[in-house]
Structure 1
């Protein structure tokens, strides 16, 4: 399966779609599981008075558990949904979240695209507010826009610690899927630490992003830039893309979505708000400019170094222009994308073995990775 980033919903010319493209999902919650456990116990005791009592207790307890979970959902939605907005550009729409009470809104870089002016609709409001671009960082697919005249009562979200996100935690995805503003879907954290390469297109370079949160909560076009939230009403990620199944002609793979983690969001957003650019992405870098390299059979066989940054990681390790990188750690490097993916899974300061060829001879260098900037 491959990811698709087509989650900036094209701007509709007529009524927003509500028909066959909408998919209903049903969560089998803890209440249902509790009931199943009680029924299994009753079956084992062959209908004795004890089993009847247990079944009766289970029938009483199950609605309570279900109601508690339902109440938690509603409380989270009430706390966070007012902070999720719809962003409209000349070419489409997506979602965003209120970052502070000064009118800054964080979203995906692919939502803003090349636009610099936007219309923003707050939750439960039909009014559109003007906004302008603060800064965009496509390498992490994040951007910040700012309301030109911020209204009073803006409710910034609270970010959770993405380092504590664990598989199995319940998540709610909030945004404007298919143009349906203030929509909520639910699921769980399916995996953490995913490295995902987005498709190119729409002015996007096809960023490779590490440490993403995988979720089963439905993410559809228009959800991009919205909030992925835990049951503590904390944003743990920004909904960014869903996987597609090439065997199904590129149709979305049900229940496989990805969100940029909160630690990355706050790091990038703070820099964009402060200076309009990113100088410390927190991502590993070699300090090189590279191009594809092909062998004698015209097959991808590495990446050729075009230039090295003076005093940078590669230069300090003895790498130079003309060298062909073929391996990073245990990962074989055949394309520029494979190099980017390998680096996305590493951290600045890591010392890594880099295999390369120079004038046809193979060698290795021990490189202490630096930090990718703007």
Structure 2
């Protein structure tokens, strides 16, 4: 799925209200008779709403102090306090090419200086570190993949449009999404697997913040919203994506421990590529521009100039489609690559390497 870094708004509230109103008008809401002297069913409805509201407020009070506003050059984004040593995790596209930052925490009246530890654009994650750890810095609690399921209520916390400490709410709309980000400043956008889809509003500035469940656990890092190709790239309301917390912990843990990502878990062929088009200027495959000596593709016999048209059972017409197909694979996994050479079609069995 192609998506843009425009943050989506959300729709659907009107539809829900209309459905509920229709149910009430049609008499389909079962209301048990009230017991004499006891609370009525009508009184129970506001109580349930108040309970949910109280839970929202408890989670916000618990987690929001761990979500910071991050200024990188002229850009604003969000970050999440990872540990009590001053490490903050955010998106790679938030830090960009900057090395130093200004961070505003829940307790700081003035921005605090911070420096880049490492940026990993392939997974759109980065870690920065406060130059001096302020008193009372509160790390967030990161959940795992078993804490994420469609239908869960979630809150997105960050600094959309520069409005620090903002909260929106929605649900987990889906899991396991593979999303390709748009190209940025001449570089191809990252293709990220296993993303969490949410209806919580994700707007510019939310990137790098926290997607939180009602147990107060960060289950993802909001990263981008979808766009509607039929509306000239306008934001597709209610469709946003977050990098899952399990991947955040894997990448951030390696960066903090070694200063870089040593085990990405991302499959690779060991080639650089470009999209080729047919006579009608339609994408027709992916040409290998360079093939790394001793890499997976080279060991399987592929050469520069070969045009890949299929990875396993998945047709490949562009570099984005190849990246999305590889995102579904794991290093060490064998796969059949179909390619064109000298006008003929060939296949090669490639054991995938790591990016």
How does the TM-score come out when normalised to structure 2?
A: 0.89
Taking the aligned partners of 1:128 and 1:370, their CA distance within structure 2 comes to 42
Alignment: residue pair count = 350
Residue aligned with 2:119, SS: strand
Taking the aligned partners of 1:176 and 1:296, their CA distance within structure 2 comes to 47
Shift of 1:42: 5.2
Q: Cα–Cα, structure 1 residues 315 and 187, in superposed 2: closer, same or farther, change >3 Å?
A: same
Match of 1:40 among 28, 40, 52: 28
Is 203-212 or 135-144 further displaced after alignment?
203-212
Contact 1:113 1:204 in 2 (8 A): no
Q: Cα–Cα, structure 1 residues 53 and 204, in superposed 2: closer, same or farther, change >3 Å?
A: farther
Match of 1:109 among 92, 98, 104: 92
1:161-200 residue pairs with structure 2 within 5 A?
Answer: 161-200=144-183
Shift of 1:310: 3.8
Taking the aligned partners of 1:123 and 1:150, their CA distance within structure 2 comes to 13
Contact 1:97 1:106 in 2 (8 A): yes
Offset from partner CA, 1:105-164 (integer Å, 9 cap, x none): 010111111111111000254221001111111111111111001112211111111244
Contact 2:6 2:235 in 1 (8 A): no
C-alpha RMSD of matched pairs (Å) = 3.0
Taking the aligned partners of 2:240 and 2:329, their CA distance within structure 1 comes to 22
Q: Cα–Cα, structure 1 residues 82 and 88, in superposed 2: closer, same or farther, change >3 Å?
A: same
Corresponding position of 1:329? 312
Residue aligned with 1:69, SS: helix
Contact 2:78 2:207 in 1 (8 A): yes
Corresponding position of 2:3? 3
Corresponding position of 2:324? 341
1:116-131 residue pairs with structure 2 within 5 A?
Answer: 116-123=99-106, 125-131=108-114
Match of 2:135 among 139, 147, 152: 152
Corresponding position of 2:285? 302
Corresponding position of 2:273? 290
Residue aligned with 2:247, SS: helix
Structure 1's consecutive aligned runs of 4 or more residues displaced over 4 angstroms after TM superposition are 21-29, 35-39, 50-56, 295-299
Taking the aligned partners of 1:22 and 1:210, their CA distance within structure 2 comes to 23
Structure 1 segments unaligned to the other structure (5+ residues): 8-20, 44-49
Taking the aligned partners of 1:288 and 1:24, their CA distance within structure 2 comes to 42
How does the TM-score come out when normalised to structure 1?
A: 0.84
Q: Cα–Cα, structure 1 residues 203 and 100, in superposed 2: closer, same or farther, change >3 Å?
A: farther
Taking the aligned partners of 2:285 and 2:10, their CA distance within structure 1 comes to 43
Corresponding position of 2:45? 62
Q: Cα–Cα, structure 1 residues 76 and 182, in superposed 2: closer, same or farther, change >3 Å?
A: same
Taking the aligned partners of 2:209 and 2:238, their CA distance within structure 1 comes to 17
Corresponding position of 1:136? 119
Taking the aligned partners of 1:212 and 1:42, their CA distance within structure 2 comes to 38
Shift of 1:23: 8.5
1:14-93 residue pairs with structure 2 within 5 A?
Answer: 40-41=28-29, 51=33, 57-93=40-76
Match of 1:360 among 343, 346, 352: 343
